[in-house]
Structure 1
Amino acid sequence: MSEGYNGQISEETRKIAKDELREDESSRSQALVALRDWVEKNPKIKWSRTDDRYLLRFLRFKKFSVPMAQECLERYVLLRQTFFNNVFRSLDYKQAEVEFLLDSGYIFAAPGRDKFGRRWIINRPGVFDPHKFTNRDMIRVHGVVYETLMEDEENQVRGFVHFADCSGVTLPFLTLFTPKEAVRIVKNGEKTLPMRHKEVHVINFISSFKYVLDWGMTLMSEKIRKRVKIYATAEEAAKTLDVNMLPKEYGGNVPMSEMIASFKKELAEHRQTILDHDKIEMRLELFTDPAKEGAISALKAGATNESCAPYKMDVLTGSFRKLEVD
């Protein structure tokens, strides 16, 4: 164990981290020192967490390439500040709309881990009522769930399996986001959020929406596309999936209500940490690219999400290429 590192990952997970992410005592110790020093000396970062668990999110996501982890961390903070203005602030599972969606089973993480040590995220988009809730409610509840799960170092290494039941999805659901917003969500979900998406399983997908699926798949990298599996029914999926990770309603052993109650205890445990993320902030005024001035004005004015357009930014290290918050 590297000096000062007090992470709680199993020996088996340490081996996976070494084999898949190039993480060992030496690489972890050196990378943490380098990334922490960069954060503390970066004038564009007003405040950021610098604890090991937080920094390791980005290092593991980028397989211990410090420059790429720096890039990802900066993009992540900018995303929180500029995309869907303020929606990533006050990520509180006790907020009324968020808690309602959690209790209804819109999204939650199943307890336990599969044989590969991965957590399963269950999503039932048909539960979301687009006449009652907004796209901001949707993004916020996903933010609460993902931020909480990323606090666990086992999850950072092992990654996630996504299971979605699309039954009940109607046309109004597809109008929640503009095509431009949908592009940003898909791209940032893969490239900016430091989560390892290992598998994606979708059941009950409506055939009349196939054109939407085909378009969405074009936005993903080839690596992620290969990990997406579509099934006509839950019964078809059960032939290949580990149903023990699913709620009883989908062939598992634990009722959905019990899974949700268990996950809410996990949310409660990390609640204050997630709320404290509101302190994480970039000094947007130090980004001089004129294309992003509209985003800063929108932030100050509290404008709608449409005002928070993507913009290019210059980073500190000359060897970095220009980035774009998609």
Structure 2
Amino acid sequence: MGCDSKFFPAEDDGYRCGLDEETRRVASSELREDEAARAAAVQQLRDWVLRHPAIRKCRTDSVFLLRFLRSKKFSVPLAQEMLERYLTVRQLYPLWFRGLSADEPVVREILLAGYLVPLPERDEFGRRVILRCAGTYSHIFQNCLYFQKSTPMRHKSSTFLNLPHYASKFMEFFVTLLNEKLKSRIKLISNTEELQKIVNIKILPKEYGGEMPLSEMIDKFLLKLEERREAIKALDEMEMEVDQKTKFVTDLEDELAGVAGSFRQLEVD
């Protein structure tokens, strides 16, 4: 028995935009999004998914499809390309993407450790700020390889606080993998005072000068994950036939092999 069919509709699922007026103006200005464009683009992308010969199953609800459309400023062809790459990467590397429910012991342990925490409040620009408390950096280079073309999010900046010496060396290599636009969005800082100049102190955890303890923020995030349990589980139902000879797949494998080799070289140096 699969997840609720509301995540796999073949037609209009009755989505109603919940953005406030200010955010709607921003969406119109930056993304060319309005009611008519949204409805038409979502159905066009949904129809493409349902006709795609290699996609066995994919979420087709408006909330899911809008992530790709907004990431690509409502260019349907570019959203199609991103979605295809996203499904391909999920299929090739299931350990990165499947079984991410907070009920899973390993996932819950990572969340409770504060490895990845979306802050409860958005910043003054309405952006979601994600705090990552990483004890190791081997996850970063994996993410960067498919990030630019395969992940449905509009990434604005990354700030790294108190990197140890060896990690700073790795970051120099990591930045070379990014395009010029993303390079300009990387910031390396050494203290919380600098962080508070970049991120509104009011939304930061208490440990970084804010008001709410990090543990409370983690609890709020776990509650949100529980509320969206079925939507998260629906992601695990998605499947795509992958042609190992396609250029994207071969390029991705070559990139992974190259990065792994370079990372080992950094460790030796």
Shorter-chain TM-score: which interval?
Answer: 0.7 to 0.9
Structure (1 or 2) with the greater helix fraction: 2
4+ runs deviating over 6 angstroms: none
Flag the 1:57–1:113 CA change in 2: closer, same or farther, 3 A. same
Q: Deviation at 1:25?
A: 1.9
| Cα distance in structure 2, aligned partners of 1:209 and 1:183 | 12
| 224, 229, 250: which one aligns with 1:311 | 250
Contact 2:57 2:240 in 1 (8 A): yes
Q: Deviation at 1:5?
A: 3.5
Flag the 1:5–1:209 CA change in 2: closer, same or farther, 3 A. closer
Structure (1 or 2) with the greater strand fraction: 1
Partner of 2:262: none
| Cα distance in structure 1, aligned partners of 2:168 and 2:160 | 13
| Cα distance in structure 1, aligned partners of 2:177 and 2:77 | 25
| 188, 193, 198: which one aligns with 2:151 | 193
1:32 aligns with 2:17: no
Q: What is the identity, as a one-letter code, of the residue corresponding to 2:102?
A: Y
Q: What is the identity, as a one-letter code, of the residue corresponding to 1:211?
A: K
Q: What is the identity, as a one-letter code, of the residue corresponding to 1:11?
A: E
Partner of 2:60: 50
Q: What is the identity, as a one-letter code, of the residue corresponding to 1:12?
A: E
Q: What is the identity, as a one-letter code, of the residue corresponding to 1:47?
A: K
Q: How does 1:66-85 map to 2 (within 5 A)?
A: 66-83=76-93, 85=94
Partner of 1:120: 129
| Cα distance in structure 2, aligned partners of 1:213 and 1:94 | 33
Q: What is the identity, as a one-letter code, of the residue corresponding to 1:15?
A: R
Q: Deviation at 1:4?
A: 4.1
| Cα distance in structure 2, aligned partners of 1:73 and 1:240 | 32
Q: Deviation at 1:277?
A: 1.0
| Cα distance in structure 1, aligned partners of 2:100 and 2:134 | 20
Deviation digits for residues 298-320 of structure 1 (CA, Å, limit 9, x no counterpart): xxxxxxxxxxx94369xxxxxxx
Which stretch of the first structure deviates more once superposed, 66-75 or 18-27? 18-27
Q: What is the identity, as a one-letter code, of the residue corresponding to 1:77?
A: L
Partner of 1:247: 205
1:88 aligns with 2:27: no
Q: How does 1:267-306 map to 2 (within 5 A)?
A: 267-284=225-242, 287=243, 290=245
Flag the 1:204–1:310 CA change in 2: closer, same or farther, 3 A. same
| TM-score scaled by length of structure 1 | 0.69
| Cα distance in structure 2, aligned partners of 1:325 and 1:39 | 27
SS, match of residue 209 in structure 1: helix
SS, match of residue 46 in structure 1: strand
Q: What is the identity, as a one-letter code, of the residue corresponding to 1:122?
A: L
| 78, 83, 107: which one aligns with 1:98 | 107
| Cα distance in structure 2, aligned partners of 1:186 and 1:312 | 14
| Cα distance in structure 1, aligned partners of 2:99 and 2:89 | 15
Q: Deviation at 1:45?
A: 0.9
| Cα distance in structure 2, aligned partners of 1:208 and 1:47 | 43
- The percentage of counterpart residues that share the same residue type is 41
RMSD (CA atoms): 2.5
Q: Deviation at 1:270?
A: 0.8
| Cα distance in structure 2, aligned partners of 1:244 and 1:54 | 30
| Cα distance in structure 1, aligned partners of 2:209 and 2:32 | 37
The runs of 5 or more residues in structure 2 that have no matched partner are: 1-11, 257-269
Q: Deviation at 1:100?
A: 1.4
Q: What is the identity, as a one-letter code, of the residue corresponding to 2:129?
A: W
Deviation digits for residues 256-310 of structure 1 (CA, Å, limit 9, x no counterpart): 11111111111111122111211111123xx3x6469xxxxxxxxxxxxxxxx94
Partner of 1:19: 29
| TM-score scaled by length of structure 2 | 0.82
SS, match of residue 64 in structure 1: coil
Q: Deviation at 1:104?
A: 1.8
SS, match of residue 216 in structure 1: helix
Q: Deviation at 1:325?
A: 8.9
